[in-house]
Amino acid sequence: MAKTEHFYISTPIYYVNAKPHLGHCYTTVIADVAARFQRLLRGGSMAKGGHGSVFFLTGTDEHADKVVTAGAAKGVTPQAWCDIHAAEFEKAFAALDCSHDDFIRTTQDRHKSRVAEYIRRLQQSRDIYLGDYTGWYDPGQEEYVTETAAKEHNYLSPVSGQPLVKRTERNYFFRLSAYQDRLIEHMQRNPESVLPEARRNEVLGRLRQPLQDIPVSRAVGDDPASRWGILMPDDPGHRIYVWIDALFNYLSAMDTPERRAFWPAQVHLIAKDILWFHAVIWPAMLMALGEALPRVLYAHSWWVMGERKMSKSLGNFVSIEDLAAYAERYGVDAVRWFLATQGPLGATDSEWSYSKFVEVYNADLANGIGNSTSRVGNMIAKYFDGVLPECASSGPDRPLAGACAQAVTASMASLDRFEIDEACRGGIRMVTAVDGYINQTEPFRLAKRIGEPGVREQLAAILTDCAEALRIASVLMAPAMPTKMAELWRNWNCAPKSGETLADLCTWGGMRPGTKIIKGDPLFMRADPALPEPGAVDS
């Protein structure tokens, strides 16, 4: 992934017709872990605004027709409905410790006024024009499906399985057909423009068919739902189609003199359900506007349950309450770790399972970084009074140092490819190396002979190496688990100093002799697999 001075990452903006669930939280948590890695890379703190050149945006998409019907059913205005549900998303992301720099809502004036201006520019350049459209409409998704896709799915919605409806509308159209060659050329010149590879091939495959111009407005009628949205400039008979309105959020949020330098986005993170809009329609609109194109569109796969995409409409989802119950029992960081390392980041879907959660929690956290840091901390307390001993032989030529350097290099390379899961797992590889090293060198046995010549020095070197390797492991795990790793850094007096970059922090030799090591409580208590799933009993 090209290195740029500014790093701007976005998530999709989520529909407010339903409460947030695991799927939405997943994307925002992954973006959060990526943003924290980027702040660390640049020597900033991992917290929100921790480095001036990193910007992380999430938010809500509020102009869907469903908002009006759902609000009416509860006796509230569409805006009140949006306010309630946008707050639910903000609350969910705060509970998951997400460090977004801004939360954009499409009903905000800052967004609406800019969208009207972008549309006006596109009308002036004749990329948007007035015409008629007839096609297969998916009412649940509020989108048209191409003739080929409609036929392929037996004229049922590819997403919900509900019947598609034939509709004709007088609309404004975006001249998408004019951008086909440029889109293909852009994708061929920039292999990272759509990732993972499978998604890129999917888009390139579909681009072999000629592109049709697409409607970008909906008629305003008598029913209140048809009046919900941003009106077409100078034509109150049409409002801007919710999807077009929504895509502009990525630009509208950054279209201020202070934020302009963040454009283009380094990563638009989405899931594969909304690939076409982001890989084809969005870049074509940006080309028409004369704006630079996002560097990477990363479309992850789905959390599934019972082999179907987890979704509110199918009812097979892990709710925000379920996630809160997991966080209550295991800690927020453990939930973040599971999402960051076990989710559908690549081209395959992930099945959610409680037993898998417990297995990963025990292996990576309780018996992994938790147990390893306790063991090493306890031995330093016992044999060296809790102070990292002076030792001449601890240096970069030590066996653990080599293993660490390899894990760090691999993690950094993963980060470049947006393989956030792999980047985090580098930490676990180092923990495993430390455990192996302890089993092999048996410091607890050596300690029994501490009075013999040279043994104290040997023991000091082993424990210093282990502490150093675990410190570096904790740095790689910190973007996913900022609270727990900060707890360890407090106990071990090794918190990153301001200005230290990820590369500095991952350089062997950070733990200095004389550093006080406080044993502290175990970072993670072991999980009992026999307990029922959280939420099933707790809520």
Q: Which residues neighbour 397 within 8 Å (Cβ) at sequence distance 6 or greater?
A: none
Site for ligand MSP in 228-287 (CB under 6 A): 246-247, 249, 270-271, 273-274
As measured in angstroms, the least distance from the Cβ of 88 to ligand MSP is: 12
Number of helices followed by number of strands (H, E) in the chain: 21, 16
CB of 242 vs ligand MSP, minimal distance in Å: 8
* 24 belongs to the binding site for ligand MSP (CB under 6 A): yes
To the nearest whole angstrom, how small is the minimum distance from the Cβ of residue 83 to ligand MSP? 17
Nearest-approach distance from CB 286 to ligand MSP, in angstroms: 13
- Please, which of residues 352-391 interact with ligand MSP by CB under 6 A? none
Are 144 and 158 in contact by the 8 Å Cβ rule? The answer is no
Q: Tally the C-alpha atoms within 13 A of residue 441's C-alpha that lie toward its C-beta.
A: 22
Nearest Cα to 468, choosing from 381, 373, 336, 351?
373
Nearer to ligand MSP, 251 or 475 (CB): 251
Question: In 3D, which of 408, 392, 469 has the Cα closest to residue 438?
Answer: 469
Using CB under 6 A as the binding rule, whether residue 12 contacts ligand MSP is answered as: yes
Work out whether 103 is an interface residue with ligand MSP (CB under 6 A). no
Nearest to 403 by CA among 341, 459, 360, 465: 465
Residues in the chain: 539
Candidate residues 7, 8, 9, 26; the one interacting with ligand MSP per rule CB under 6 A: 26
Shortest spacing between CB 15 and ligand MSP, in angstroms:
4
Are 296 and 267 spatial neighbours (Cβ–Cβ below 8 Å)? yes
Contacts with ligand MSP by CB under 6 A: the residue count is: 21
Give the nearer residue to ligand MSP in terms of CB position, either 215 or 377.
Answer: 215
CB closer to ligand MSP out of 62 and 333: 62
Q: What binding mask, one character per residue, do residues 279-318 give for ligand MSP by CB under 6 A, x or -?
A: -----------------------xx-----xxx-------
- Residue choice 6, 8, 27, 46 for contact with ligand MSP (CB under 6 A): 27
- Asked if residue 6 lies in contact with residue 262, where contact means CB atoms within 8 angstroms, the answer is yes
- Secondary structure class of 380 (helix, strand, coil): helix
Q: How far is CA 185 from the centre of its chain?
A: 28
Rounded CA separation 55/29 (Å): 14
Which helix (H) or strand (E) segment holds residue 306: the answer is none
Q: How far is the CB of 466 from ligand MSP (least distance, A)?
A: 38
Interface with ligand MSP (CB under 6 A), residue from 8, 9, 13, 427: 13
**Which 406-435 positions form the footprint of ligand MSP (CB under 6 A)?**
none
Least Cα distance to 377 among 232, 515, 479 occurs for 515
Instruction: List the strands of the sheet with 308-309, edge to edge.
Output: 308-309, 303-305, 350-351
**Comparison of 159 and 220: residue with beta carbon closer to ligand MSP:** 159
Nearer to ligand MSP, 76 or 274 (CB): 274
Q: How many angstroms separate the CA atoms of 429 and 398, rounded?
A: 17
Cα dist from 465 to 56, 321, 374, 438, whole Å: 36, 42, 15, 10
Strands (E), 377-454: none
If the CB atoms of residues 262 and 508 are measured against ligand MSP, the closer one turns out to be: 262
CB closest to ligand MSP, residue no: 23
Would you say 26 or 492 has its CB closer to ligand MSP? 26
Cα 368 vs. chain centroid, distance in angstroms?
Answer: 24
Residue number, 116 or 431, with CB nearest to ligand MSP: 116
Q: Which is nearer to ligand MSP, 271 or 466 (CB)?
A: 271
Q: Among residues 15 and 361, whose Cβ is nearest to ligand MSP?
A: 15
Binding segment (CB under 6 A) for ligand MSP, from list 6-14, 34-42, 73-81, 191-199:
6-14
- Residue 277 · residue 243 · CB < 8 Å: yes
Q: Round to whole Å and give the CA distance between 302 and 309.
A: 6
Residue from 46, 54, 61, 466 binding ligand MSP (CB under 6 A): 61
Residues that bind ligand MSP (CB under 6 A): 12-15, 23-24, 26-27, 61, 246-247, 249, 270-271, 273-274, 302-303, 309-311
